[in-house]
Structure 1
């Protein structure tokens, strides 16, 4: 889910124009540093769960089973399991730090001055950096240090990964605390997912009726449904441009990811190039990507570049492709690495070169993975904002850029309606992507 949609969900309840400050004579809760930290933290929870879950999955069960003979399950969990998964916890923390530093959407809405926010503000206002290039490159250097730290942690983590042979993961039995823990997890998930959705639905369906001198608000399911259905039509132009650019970006991402992932399946140099590319595209803030594209294309001495910059979708296409590259790149690296060597060796014996082996042997067996990577790239590109907002040409506006402007004035019924409509589209595409992943697993198992 794009970050601006998550921010909109929480703002609709507790931020500027939210229902809670409207009901009570109080200032908005979701503002400033606490609001930015909350939204970024909530958005990072799935990634932390995924990364730490992978770390826990690869803890050696024999060590845990041996330790449980000498201590309690709780001692095993804290002294063995978490210690073995500590690198994954560090990686998750670095991931949150890098991705949060690379975004300016939430901090701009919360009026927080951050590095990415300052770059965006300077270029959006005057088209240049007010403080000169030194702070710009200082921020790049700090981001690079975080990136290198993450790469070092990932390298050490990957070197210690070992799939358990013939053993199931050790499970910490909660006993009588199982159901209370399940209730806590379920309640937390309901709050994190249900509250933003309820906030948007409440805003989209609010109807104000005037009775005498009083204005009495009430909620209408009919109006909520009408807003969800009608908002895409009202913002059809922005939605159309978003889909066109996202599809183009997804195609470019899949092509680049295949060309980088194929040499990385067995080559150390190829693997290094892939990891460096992934780390760079993950770590660099979106506004820096936009600034770099502006410097690249806005060359007055080269008329064709200026025309492409001002009168085509090339700039947002490149920006969204760069921002959407990391996840599909990792997906296709794994998918192409699982192509059986025996099949490729047989093709080599028949005289097939590396390109023929890729196009005629590897890719036809990984069609579901290609489709899944394309869907992921398209979803990420469709919701990209921090780089696109700087490079969209005149006359072209994507839906995230339009929504970003509206969110500064609070969450009204039309804004909430289009947010819910986009969420429905994302859920549909995600369900399709999950089906493709399951199909890929079944095909790989064969």
Structure 2
């Protein structure tokens, strides 16, 4: 279904002018980037058991068909973008050689051969992402492998059984990587191309109208419906401030986990981009996050890693392992694209390694690295499955809170939390715009008060080389501001690791009307005195406390 929708959308977008084409591409990227629980919550509002559309549209969203619908509305942009990238190879001679090549014949004899390989890659990629999706089936209560793996491990803590259930979830990504790992992927070009009007003419008015109608419909359903439901629900606005007050710590944890992981991913990518590990790093990205969580428990929940496992470090470990492929491939692509002439010119001028990085490589690689950082940040912000088994005490994120509330029907609070998540998603862009403005002001002042270079002298100094590098990739903020931000992030790591671990005293005084202290009883696990997601508690007449957890045990 996702491939059919993406194919129809690609037919229409390839015949549009650049301005409208780029706008609809932005909509497609937004549909791919929206949090899955936001999309699920909007459709539950309309088609749930008490949904507003349920009277005239009796569609059971809590079903396999409902899961297929939501996953299709989330994944259709993959086929769209890959087909647009493949069809960029169309040449004017191919479109003008045979006037009778139009309509369905145009698709069969020209577009299909050009896009067949991209379509097969999109099919396998969509299949793998849908197969390993955890949040949507779990929210809609549909039994799939990742959700069953989560429930099975939660109730038994049996590693062997978890590995057995996860075999299909690992084989599919391996097939994807082995079959298409070395192939070049063409992404859509945002520039104007002269073939748009000819393409539209060859496609025909009928097919253009039908594909355009499908594109408009899926844009409304995949982007318009979730955002409209989010911003137009009156109760959400009344719940927003109380939700913000109750979720301040969750907001802080979400931002720190996402920002620190994105930074760690880039640092590791910058250090190791020359290593031949790019293909292998995609495997943790494509396997279910639940499997990574089980691996983290097995590897780290033992001496001498117990303090690390009980801290926020285990979350950073799981996120970094899963999304390292993004940072590594971005760093490798960026540094392999650096202009060698500018690098040689800097060396001839006597530049040190740091000066080459600062004045030659950084201006050219900064846009790609910043884009990779932001994409990783977004992935970590939405991620539930990678940390649902391992998040430390007191380290709940907004995504985890949304996931838990959706099971109990708190739609207004869920919408408020989703709005907070979107605000956190926009925060780095706001900070980047501010830093860019500050860098522009600083550079303007520097031009008014030029200082002679003391490092070396040459007919072409480092400042000129830096200006050339910036001219190739755009102007970015001051490196001193980057260093300060990096220092803040390192400070955040230490605070996070210190603040999210278990309280050594396991008892905290509080100033409440009925209670004077709070005590933590037991730890996470499946042994005596250990609990795995306690669900119910009870007291008898002798004040004995009984606890029931997800394993079904009563202690």
Smaller-chain TM-score range? 0.7 to 0.9
Change (3 A) 1:306 1:5: same
Structure 1 segment 136-285 matched on structure 2, within 5 A: 136-137=166-167, 139-151=169-181, 154-155=183-184, 168-169=194-195, 171-174=198-201, 176-177=205-206, 182-201=212-231, 204-205=233-234, 223-261=235-273, 263=274, 270=275, 272-277=276-281, 279-285=282-288
- Equivalent residue pairs, number: 405
- Give the Cα separation in 1 of the matches to 2:94 and 2:348: 46
- 1:444 pairs with 2:473: yes
User: How far 1:314 sits from its partner (Å)?
Assistant: 0.8
**More RCO (CA 8 Å, sep 6+):** 1
Q: Decide whether aligned partners of structure 1 residues 106 and 130 sit closer, same or farther in structure 2, where only a CA change above 3 A counts.
A: farther
SS of the aligned residue for 2:133 comes to coil
Q: Is 1:291–2:291 an aligned residue pair?
A: no
Counterpart Cα distance in 1 of 2:470 and 2:96: 33
Alignment of 1:343-354 (within 5 A): 343-347=342-346
Spell out, residue by residue over 1:394-446, the C-alpha distance to the aligned partner (whole angstroms, 9 max, x if none). 22211111111111122422222222332344356568889999x99974279
Match of 1:367 in 2: 366
* CA-based RMSD: 3.6
Tell me what 2:317 maps to.
Answer: 318
Q: CA deviation at 1:179?
A: 6.0
1:43-192 aligned within 5 A: 43-57=74-88, 59-62=89-92, 64-65=94-95, 67-69=97-99, 71-72=101-102, 74-129=104-159, 131=161, 133-137=163-167, 139-151=169-181, 154-155=183-184, 168-169=194-195, 171-174=198-201, 176-177=205-206, 182-192=212-222
Contact 1:250/1:377 (<8 A) preserved: yes
The corresponding residue for 1:3 is 36
Contact 2:92–2:195, Cα closer than 8 Å, also in 1: no
Q: Which residue of 1 aligns with 2:338?
A: 339
SS in 2 for 1:294: helix
* Rounded Cα–Cα distance in structure 1 between residues aligned with 2:39 and 2:430: 19
Question: Gapped runs of 5+ residues in structure 1?
Answer: 206-222, 264-269
Say if 1:95 and 1:293 are closer, same or farther in 2 by CA, change over 3 A: same
Q: Residues 139 and 378 (structure 1 numbering): CA distance in 2 closer, same or farther, change over 3 Å?
A: closer
The question of whether the paired residues in 1 share the 8 Å contact of 2:312 and 2:392 is answered with yes
Partner SS for 1:117: helix
Partner residue of 2:460?
A: none
Residues 383, 399 of structure 2: 8 Å contact kept:
yes
Does the C-alpha gap of structure 1 residues 428 and 79 become closer, same or farther in structure 2, counting only changes over 3 Å?
farther
- 1:399 equivalent to 2:429? Answer no
The residue that corresponds to 1:219 in the other structure is none
Sort the Cα spacing of 1:111 and 1:320 in 2 relative to 1 into closer, same or farther, 3 A: same
Paired residue for 2:386? 387
Q: 2 CA distance for matches of 1:88 and 1:441?
A: 34
Q: Which residue of 1 aligns with 2:417?
A: 418
Name the counterpart of 1:212. none
Distance 1:353 1:71 in 2: 59
Could you tell me the TM-score, scaled by structure 1's length?
Answer: 0.78
Contact preservation (8 Å) 2:170, 2:287: yes
Task: Give the structure 2 partner of residue 220 of structure 1.
Answer: none
- Provide closer, same or farther for how the CA distance between residues 27 and 383 of structure 1 changes in structure 2, counting only shifts above 3 A: same
Aligned-pair CA distance for 1:358 = 4.8
Cα distance per residue 1:157-199 (max 9 Å; x no partner)? 67xx9x9xx9844641246555675454324312322222333
- 2:222 and 2:434 mapped to 1: Cα distance? 25
Q: 1:97 is paired with a residue of what secondary structure?
A: helix
Matches within 5 A, 1:299-314: 299-300=302-303, 302=304, 305-310=305-310, 312-314=311-313
Query: Would the aligned equivalents of 2:135 and 2:384 in 1 still touch at CA under 8 Å?
Result: yes
1:14 aligns with one of 40, 47, 55: 47
Q: Which has the higher helix share?
A: 1
Equivalent residue, structure 2, for 1:33: 64
Cα-to-partner distance string for 1:71-103 (whole Å, 9 max, x where unaligned): 336533331122111111111111111112222
The normalised TM-score by structure 2 is 0.64
Q: Distance in 2 between matches of 1:27 and 1:176?
A: 35
Deviation of the 1:317 alpha carbon:
1.0
Paired with 1:424 and 1:375, the residues of 2 have a C-alpha distance of 14
Moved more, 317-326 or 290-299: 317-326
Unaligned runs of 5+ in 2: 1-33, 441-468, 476-555
Measured in 1, the distance between the counterparts of 2:434 and 2:85 equals 22
Q: Is the 8 A contact 1:94 1:150 kept in 2?
A: no
Q: 1:38/1:368 Cα in 2 relative to 1: closer, same or farther (>3 Å)?
A: same
For residues 410 and 357 of structure 1, the distance between their equivalents in structure 2, rounded to whole angstroms, comes to: 56
